[in-house]
Amino acid sequence: MRNYARFQDKIDVSMAISIIKYLTCLVENSSKASMKNDMLDFNMMKFFGINTRTGKVLRPLPIRSEFPTPGWVKINTDGAARGYLGLATCGGIFRGSMGEFIGVFFAFLEVQTSMVAEF
């Protein structure tokens, strides 16, 4: 099959997919790695017939928020970067002493580390 495709200078898409499926089936169980919990990765692996080993599924934790002292404003902030060094953003929300919404901010930080985005 490989020589046919190489010497005939043409291969159709279905034949290319068949070759990829065949080659990936040979190595799928030799890896101890797990994939990201990402739908794009999952769908691609499913398309090629590869058994997946997903990472640990994280469960959301309940968050208890307390109102600030009367006359004070509470600011909740967060930031993130894609990878250790990548596109980064940050944002926050301002709430009054009764939990009322006061304002919000967000910023695109361009390429930064995750530590810069968090602080």
pLDDT digits (tens, 9 = 90+) for 63-109: 777 888 899 999 989 998 888 788 999 999 999 988 899 999 999 99
φ and ψ at 64, to 5 degrees?
-110, 120
Is residue 90 a contact partner of residue 77, using CB atoms and an 8 Å limit? yes
**In-domain check, residue 32:** yes
Q: Which domain holds residue 40?
A: 2-47
**In-domain check, residue 111:** yes
**In-domain check, residue 54:** no
> DSSP alpha helices (H): ranges in 34-85?
39-47
One domain, residues 41 and 78:
no
Length of the chain: 119
**In-domain check, residue 64:** no
Is residue 49 a contact partner of residue 21, using CB atoms and an 8 Å limit? yes
One domain, residues 114 and 78:
yes
Query: What are the C-alpha distances in Å from 30 to residues 49, 80, 88?
Result: 15, 34, 36
Label residue 61 by pLDDT band (50, 70, 90): confident
**In-domain check, residue 53:** no
- Is the whole-model pTM more than 0.75? no
**In-domain check, residue 60:** no
